[in-house]
Amino acid sequence: MSVRELVILGTAAQVPTRERNHNGYLLRWDNDGFLFDPGEGTQRQMQFADVAASTIHHIALTHFHGDHCLGVPGVIQRLNLDKVTHPIHAHYPASGEPFFDALCRASLYQNTLRLTKHPISATGYTYESRTFHLMAESLDHRTECYGYRVQELPSRTICMEKLDALGIHGPDIGKLKRQGFLQIDDRQIFLESVSYERPTQSFAIVMDTRPCEGAQKLAQNVDVLLCEATYTHEDIKLAHEYMHMTAVQAAELARDAKAKKLVLTHFSQRYRHYGEHLQEARAIFPNTILARDGDRIAFPTRQRQV
C-alpha cells in the first residue's frame, strides 16, 4: 500500500532551540522519499521520527545557508554506513556546487553510494520520473534559492465492473492498458471508456524568500504547501529586509494559489511561542497548521472520480 506523508524533522530558522531542530523535511511519496533541506542534526531527528536512511531517494536543497544544508554530511555518510544500494539523486542550486561537494567530503568514510547530482541553473527545472515530476522555481532570497514541487502525473484506474460487462478478462486487461484499446470482433474498446482518471496530488515547499512569482507557481492548487513563516506580521519590515516571509504572507500565498492545506515552519528563535503565527495565518487561510518537530502530516484521501 502506497504511503504519502510529510515527516517534520526540524522547524527552526538559523539557530535551533530546545524544542525545535534546524530544518529537515522528509516527504514519503509512494516508493520514493524526498529529504528537503536537511539542517544540522537531521540524522538524529530521523532516529526520533523512526525514519530509516533507506527511505531517502532524493535530497533537495533550496539553498546553501547552513540551517538548510549542514545535515548533508551526516545523511550521506549514514546512507553509506547502511549500505543503501538504490541511487540517490541530489538537487540543488548550481552556484552552490563547491559547497555541496565540500559537504559530501566533510570527513573520511568509505563511499559506495550511487549519488547522481542534478545542479539547477535556471527556474523551471524539472526532474522527470514515470509517476511524478520534481519541479523547481526561483525564489527571492539573498542567494540563489529554489522552491520545489512534487507533482503526480495523470493516470487511469480500470473500472472492473465495465470490463466484466464487456467480457474482458485475464491477459486482455493488460493488453488494453498497454496499447490503449482492445479489438473484440468488429468492435474497438478504448481504455478511456472503461476507466476513470485518478485525481493527481501535489506537494510544494517554499523556503527563505519574499513573496514572489516563483512561490505562486509552486503553490498553485497544491494539496500540501509547506511554507516558511519566519516572522509575525509586526516584524514585516524585518522579513522584507532579510528576504523572508511572515505568517500572514504565507497564508496569503496559500489563499491566492488556492492551496488545500498550509503547513507553517522555519520559525525565528526571537519568538518563544508560535501561537500568534498560527492565529494570523488562520484568519486568512483557515486550513493552516503549525509544524512541530516529529509531526507526521498525511495527504488527504483522494475522491474517486467516475
Strand order in the sheet with 32-36: 115-120, 88-93, 58-60, 32-36, 24-29, 4-10, 296-298
Q: For 305, what's the count of Cα atoms within 13 Å in the CB-facing half-sphere?
A: 10
Catalytic site residue 37? Answer: no
Catalytic residue among 32, 67, 208, 223: 67
Residue 80 parent element (H or E): helix 72-81
Q: For 278, what's the count of Cα atoms within 13 Å in the CB-facing half-sphere?
A: 10
Q: Do 155 and 198 contact (CB within 8 A), yes or no?
A: yes
Alpha carbon 4 to its chain centroid, in Å, reads 11
Handedness of CA 234, 16, 296, 131 (dihedral sign): positive
Residue with C-alpha cell 544500494?
85
- CA pair distance 136, 121, nearest whole angstrom: 10
Residues tagged active-site: 67
